[in-house]
């Protein structure tokens, strides 16, 4: 997605060969118009897949997921990383390893909102090691829901998540794939190869 690549090139800050900071439009400050364009692109890519619901994870997945949900006309459910006072019964949970923080977090959704009647589109802001996406796929499986695919805003193509998911037969649609952050600069995979 050209508009997204240009935004990453102009505003993204490469902090190391592993870390890209996109806090000016995606992870902390949010550019709503770009989120709308991202939602339109996800909608275009999954328009024939009978999606009934979008599943994402708090917090940075919510903005692109809600825009996609608006355009596709389906509700959005976001998995929670912490227990909520008013959300305790009928939880479906999965463990998510964080390689950067060396921790394991439990993520949860209510079984009221993800069921065996659903065909899910899983959306997240980043795909790196794939642990968050695997956790959401785990939750979908436990709920008996179908998953049409995983929509990612930015995939770090030099980490293993994309390969891991695609090898499992999961359809992954990444709107930008970064093959390298070497020399302080993001190098993108060609658009034709981003599927």
Tell me which residues touch a copy of itself (CB under 8 A).
15, 19, 21, 23-25, 27-33, 35-36, 58-59, 62-63, 66-67, 69-70, 73-78, 80, 84-87, 100-101, 109-110, 112-113
Decide whether 86 or 190 has the Cβ nearer to a copy of itself.
86
Contacts of 6 (CB under 8 A, 6+ apart): none
Kindly state the helix (H) or strand (E) to which residue 64 belongs, with its residue range.
helix 62-72
Q: Which tokens sit at 28?
A: 């902390």
* Torsion 26-54-100-184 (CA) sign: negative
Residue 129 marked in a binding site:
yes
* Torsion 19-24-28-32 (CA) sign: negative
Quote the CA–CA distance of 194 and 77 in Å, as a whole number. Answer: 26
Residue 105 marked in a binding site:
no
Minimum distance from residue 125 beta carbon to a copy of itself (Å):
12
Minimum distance from residue 36 beta carbon to a copy of itself (Å):
6
Minimum distance from residue 70 beta carbon to a copy of itself (Å):
4
Minimum distance from residue 62 beta carbon to a copy of itself (Å):
5
Residue 4 marked in a binding site:
no
Give the strand pairing for 146-156 and 172-180: parallel
The CA–CA distances, whole Å, from 11 to 14, 42, 91, 185 equal 10, 22, 38, 11
Residue 5 marked in a binding site:
no
Residues across the chain: 195
Quote the CA–CA distance of 12 and 53 in Å, as a whole number. Answer: 30
Q: Using alpha carbons only, how large is the chain's radius of gyration in Å?
A: 16
Decide whether 75 or 144 has the Cβ nearer to a copy of itself.
75
Decide whether 58 or 95 has the Cβ nearer to a copy of itself.
58
Decide whether 87 or 164 has the Cβ nearer to a copy of itself.
87
Minimum distance from residue 151 beta carbon to a copy of itself (Å):
15
Decide whether 40 or 166 has the Cβ nearer to a copy of itself.
40
Residue 68 marked in a binding site:
no
Residue 21 marked in a binding site:
no
Residues making up the binding site: 20, 27, 128-132, 156
Residues making up the binding site for 5-phospho-alpha-D-ribose 1-diphosphate: 128-132
């Amino acid at each position: 997605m050209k508009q997204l690549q240009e935004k990453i090139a102009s505003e993204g800050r490469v902090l190391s060969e592993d870390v890209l900071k996109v806090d000016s439009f995606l992870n902390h400050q949010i550019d709503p118009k770009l989120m709308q364009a991202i939602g339109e692109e996800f909608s275009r890519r999954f328009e024939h897949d009978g999606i009934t619901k979008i599943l994402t994870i708090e917090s940075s997945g919510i903005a692109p997921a809600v825009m996609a949900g608006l355009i596709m006309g389906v509700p959005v459910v976001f998995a929670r990383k912490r227990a909520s006072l008013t959300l305790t019964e009928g939880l479906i949970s999965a463990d998510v390893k964080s390689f950067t923080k060396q921790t394991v977090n439990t993520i949860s959704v209510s079984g009221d909102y993800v069921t065996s009647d659903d065909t899910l589109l899983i959306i997240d802001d980043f795909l790196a090691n794939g642990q968050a996406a695997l956790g959401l796929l785990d939750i979908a499986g436990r709920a008996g829901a179908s998953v049409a695919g995983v929509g990612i805003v930015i995939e770090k193509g030099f980490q293993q998540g994309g390969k891991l998911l695609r090898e499992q037969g999961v359809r992954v649609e990444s709107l930008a794939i970064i093959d390298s952050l070497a020399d302080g600069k993001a190098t993108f995979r060609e658009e034709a190869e981003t599927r």
